């Protein structure tokens, strides 16, 4: 660990190193930015515009305000910049031989290739849960994490809406993983897209999962939009990212979660002949 840090510091005084960093940073901006620029607006357009009336009965709280959208986009753009800098550090680790991103899917075996994405999800979930709990300590919540919580009813644009310090913390997930295990480049691309979709849906404000999803023995282990939305509403509880088990093991799942999920996924009421509403 100390050796590669010393290597990094030793190169900081070379103009060529800074030139290379600028090139890599620009590539990182494009790589991190395109996912946000494609998936966040696409989810917002589909769920909050095109299907807004059709999904109105699945609204968990209120629709986000325009001021919320503008703030979420501004902070997300800053987060992309932080993530790009971290990506440049990851590339430096790969070039120096301290981390490995490989191309040939067979290099470390097909079993590792297949298992790497679910294992990354498990690692990411554990890392996020405990750093999220840390960000909810009083000082960090007020000065750092509350930037994200300003969106009480978020939109998909809130996927990256972090204070730069929080963005830095969240951006360490892949760097730390690569210091321990080799990862395939295509796996990293696929995981990045999957994570962006998950973040967008978590902040969608409308529940898209079927009614029995949260109580099913298997799908109930996954975090839903309602699960994370309650975290934004109540500020505390429901800290998990991918799976519900950490919240359940640690007693931090909101007690109203299952009831609220079933309420927002209930069939819409249709008007009866006498004017009273009946469940469709």
Q: Tell me which residue of 223, 233, 234 sits closest to 195, measured CA to CA.
A: 223
Q: What is the pLDDT of residue 28?
A: 74
Report the distance separating Cα 276 and Cα 108, nearest Å. Answer: 63
Cβ distance 136 to 236 under 8 Å?
A: yes
Cβ distance 164 to 78 under 8 Å?
A: yes
Could you tell me the pLDDT band of residue 14, with boundaries at 50, 70 and 90?
low
* Mean pLDDT in residue range 31-35: 87
Residues with Cβ within 8 Å of residue 102, at least 6 apart in sequence: 108, 182, 183, 184, 185
- Tens digit of each residue's pLDDT (9 = 90 or more) over 45-90: 999 999 999 999 999 999 999 999 999 999 999 999 999 999 888 8
Residue carrying structure tokens 């994200």? 148
Report the distance separating Cα 209 and Cα 262, nearest Å. Answer: 10
* Mean pLDDT in residue range 185-194: 93
Q: What is the pLDDT of residue 64?
A: 94
* Mean pLDDT in residue range 4-20: 56
Cβ distance 184 to 198 under 8 Å?
A: no
250 half-sphere exposure, CB direction, 13 A CA radius? 14
pLDDT of residue 277 exceeding 80, the answer is: no
Q: What is the pLDDT of residue 276?
A: 53
Q: What is the pLDDT of residue 53?
A: 94
Report the distance separating Cα 65 and Cα 231, nearest Å. Answer: 18
pLDDT of residue 21 exceeding 70, the answer is: no
pLDDT of residue 267 exceeding 60, the answer is: yes
Q: What is the pLDDT of residue 213?
A: 96
Report the distance separating Cα 227 and Cα 107, nearest Å. Answer: 39
- Tens digit of each residue's pLDDT (9 = 90 or more) over 89-111: 888 888 888 999 999 999 999 99
**Three-state DSSP string of 196-250:** HHHHHHHCCCECCCCCCHHHCCCHHHECCHHHHHHHHHHCCCCCCCCECHHHHHH
The share of the chain scoring above pLDDT 90, in percent, equals 79
The share of the chain scoring above pLDDT 70, in percent, equals 88
Could you tell me the pLDDT band of residue 177, with boundaries at 50, 70 and 90?
very high
Could you tell me the pLDDT band of residue 31, with boundaries at 50, 70 and 90?
confident
Residues with Cβ within 8 Å of residue 15, at least 6 apart in sequence: none
Mean pLDDT over each residue of the chain, to the nearest integer? 90
Could you tell me the pLDDT band of residue 4, with boundaries at 50, 70 and 90?
low
Report the distance separating Cα 232 and Cα 250, nearest Å. Answer: 19
């Amino acid at each position: 660990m100390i050796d590669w840090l010393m290597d990094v510091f030793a190169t900081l005084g070379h103009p060529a190193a800074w030139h290379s960093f600028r090139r890599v940073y620009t590539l990182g901006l494009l790589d991190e930015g395109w996912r946000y620029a494609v998936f966040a607006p696409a989810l917002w357009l589909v769920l909050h515009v095109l299907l807004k009336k059709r999904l109105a009965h699945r609204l968990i709280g209120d629709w986000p305000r325009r001021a919320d959208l503008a703030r979420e986009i501004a902070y997300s753009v800053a987060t992309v910049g932080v993530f790009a800098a971290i990506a440049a550090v990851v590339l430096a680790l790969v070039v120096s031989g301290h981390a490995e991103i490989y191309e040939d899917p067979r290099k470390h075996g097909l079993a590792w290739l297949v298992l790497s994405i679910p294992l990354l999800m498990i690692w990411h979930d554990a890392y996020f849960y405990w750093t999220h709990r840390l960000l909810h300590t009083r000082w960090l919540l007020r000065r750092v994490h509350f930037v994200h919580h300003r969106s009480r009813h978020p939109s998909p644009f809130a996927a990256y809406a972090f204070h730069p310090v929080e963005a830095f913390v969240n951006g360490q997930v892949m760097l730390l993983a690569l210091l321990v295990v080799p990862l395939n480049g295509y796996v990293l691309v696929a995981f990045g897209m999957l994570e962006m979709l998950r973040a967008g849906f978590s902040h969608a404000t409308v529940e898209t999962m079927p009614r029995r999803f949260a109580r099913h023995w298997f799908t109930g282990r996954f975090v839903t939009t309602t699960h994370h939305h309650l975290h934004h509403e109540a500020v505390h509880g429901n800290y998990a990212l991918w799976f519900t088990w950490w919240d359940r093991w640690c007693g931090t799942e909101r007690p109203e979660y299952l009831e609220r999920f079933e309420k927002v996924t209930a069939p819409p009421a249709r008007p009866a002949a006498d004017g009273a509403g009946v469940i469709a």
